[in-house]
Amino acid sequence: MDMTLRSLRFRREREASWHELEGLLDRAERSAVSRLSDDELLAIPALYRAALSSLSVARSTSLDQALVEYLEALSARAYFFVYGSRTSFKERMQRFFAHDWPAAVKNIWRETLVAALITFAGAIAAYMLVMADPDWYDAFVSGEMAGGRDPSASAEYLKSTIYGDSDASEALGVFATSLFTNNAQVALFAFALGFAFCLPTSLLLAYNGCVLGAMFAVFASKNLGFEFAGWILIHGVTELLAIIIAGGAGLRIGWSIAFPGDLSRLAAAERSGREGAVIILGVVIMLFIAGLLEGFGRQLINSDTVRYTIATATAFIWAVYFYRGDRRGLARV
């Protein structure tokens, strides 16, 4: 009489195919080292289904706990391989630039508008306060950030800060880098803080506007308003737009958690979170460009005309890229 257990015989008949699947998955997950042939890639789904059916059989007929656990782990690994992410990072990036990013930004135009209004309200309020009483300046701009550009500074000094001399170019690299990382952090905060029902995002946006308004007031009071605007806008168009868009994405999240509509709160947060992710990735790219413009372009270009030309050109490019009409034709790229 054959004394071998039925479940053991089952295991012996099938285990070769499990080991084959395991070996293929091991290799596939190290894809950079060894590529699988077409035949091997096609074998994985078939082996995966075989493993799944083995798992079902084992669960109902075998009492070998270790075997069931092995099959569960193997099936799950294969499941993630077969049904997991299919698009490569490169394809994803192409689709991102051609369609997803501009579409996502366009989609939150209402929130973007609100974020822009909050920023400008902050700027105007701070401008009026500082114009009425220069002491307000310290409330908006820290001494470190001001770098001597405060209401008591002379017009000559202020002028020197917006028309860089070439001596400073050594430190430009550091300056550009710190600007980029700081701004990117502000943008990420503006997005992430939206989680708490919009309020912190709004405050951050308003404060960002206040700093701008207060500084503008200092320069405007010395009749350097036009020059200051050129100095800010050469990169500011890109940078402010990026922060405002990030804030808009944050507002969208907070709004959808507060007012989820027909969806559950969790589902609404998920949906706006995924949309927001696309926008945030784009915002970081925008800020990188702004950082380059700010660190290098602004310090090396000292003509107001050129500064305003660049500012207008960037504004035009972003407007066309994000808000140009129908892009249904691109949806399938």
Partner 1 sequence: MASLAFDQADRAVRALVTPEGVDLRVRLAAVSERGIALVIDLTIIMGSLLLLTLAAGSLLATFDLENVPLAQIIWMLGFFVLRNFYFTLFECSRRSATPGKRLMGLRVVARDGAALSADAVIARNAMRELELYIPLIVLFSRGEGIEAWILLAGIVWCGIFVLFPLFNRDRLRAGDLIAGTWVLKAPKQKMLPDLTTEKPAEAAFAFTTAHLDAYGVKELQVLEQVLRMSEPTAMEAVATQIRTKIGWTARAHEADKDFLSAYYAALRRRLEQRLLLGVRKKDKHDTI
Residues 132-191 touching partner 1, rule: CB under 8 A, are: 170-171, 173-174, 177-178, 180-181, 184-185, 188-189, 191
Comparison of 124 and 284: residue with beta carbon closer to partner 1 = 284
| Contact between 50 and partner 1 per CB under 8 A | no
Among 43, 52, 98, 285, binds partner 1 (CB under 8 A): 52
Q: 202: phi > 0 → left, psi -120 to 50 → alpha, else beta; which? A: alpha
Closest CA to 211 of 149, 148, 122, 131: 122
Comparison of 59 and 110: residue with beta carbon closer to partner 1 = 59
Residue 152: DSSP 8-state = T
* Closest approach of partner 1 to the CB of residue 299, in Å: 16
| Contact between 81 and partner 1 per CB under 8 A | yes
The dihedral built from the CA positions of residue 171, 153, 217 and 160, taken in this order, carries a sign that is: negative
| Region of 155-163, 223-231, 280-288, 322-330 interacting with partner 1 (CB under 8 A) | 280-288
| Region of 51-59, 116-124, 125-133, 205-213 interacting with partner 1 (CB under 8 A) | 51-59
| Region of 120-128, 131-139, 207-215, 278-286 interacting with partner 1 (CB under 8 A) | 278-286
* Neighbouring residues of 73: CB distance < 8 A, sequence distance ≥ 6: none
Among 40, 72, 138, 304, binds partner 1 (CB under 8 A): 72
| Contact between 75 and partner 1 per CB under 8 A | yes
Residue 269: DSSP 8-state = H
Closest CA to 102 of 255, 256, 331, 332: 331
Q: How many CA atoms does the CB half-sphere of 249 hold within 13 Å?
A: 29
| Region of 69-77, 231-239, 296-304, 311-319 interacting with partner 1 (CB under 8 A) | 69-77
Tokens for 305?
Answer: 């005309």
* Closest approach of partner 1 to the CB of residue 2, in Å: 12
The dihedral built from the CA positions of residue 197, 198, 201 and 202, taken in this order, carries a sign that is: negative
By CB under 8 A, the count of residues binding partner 1 is: 75
| Contact between 92 and partner 1 per CB under 8 A | yes
Comparison of 153 and 257: residue with beta carbon closer to partner 1 = 257
* Closest approach of partner 1 to the CB of residue 172, in Å: 10
* Closest approach of partner 1 to the CB of residue 75, in Å: 6
| Contact between 64 and partner 1 per CB under 8 A | yes
Comparison of 55 and 240: residue with beta carbon closer to partner 1 = 55
Q: What angle do CA 240, 313, 245 make, to 5 degrees?
A: 25
Place of tokens 């690994």: 77
Comparison of 155 and 196: residue with beta carbon closer to partner 1 = 196
| Contact between 103 and partner 1 per CB under 8 A | no
Check: CB of residue 52 under 8 Å from CB of residue 75.
yes
* Closest approach of partner 1 to the CB of residue 111, in Å: 16
Place of tokens 């506007």: 209
| Contact between 327 and partner 1 per CB under 8 A | no
Give dist(CA 125, CA 295) in Å, integer.
28
Tokens for 143?
Answer: 């001494």
Cα separations in angstroms, 84 against 28, 36, 79, 81, 87: 13, 17, 7, 5, 9
| Contact between 270 and partner 1 per CB under 8 A | yes
Among 112, 273, 293, 318, binds partner 1 (CB under 8 A): 273
* Closest approach of partner 1 to the CB of residue 303, in Å: 28
Check: CB of residue 123 under 8 Å from CB of residue 209.
yes
Place of tokens 């077969």: 82
Among 70, 137, 140, 228, binds partner 1 (CB under 8 A): 70
Give dist(CA 50, CA 65) in Å, integer.
19
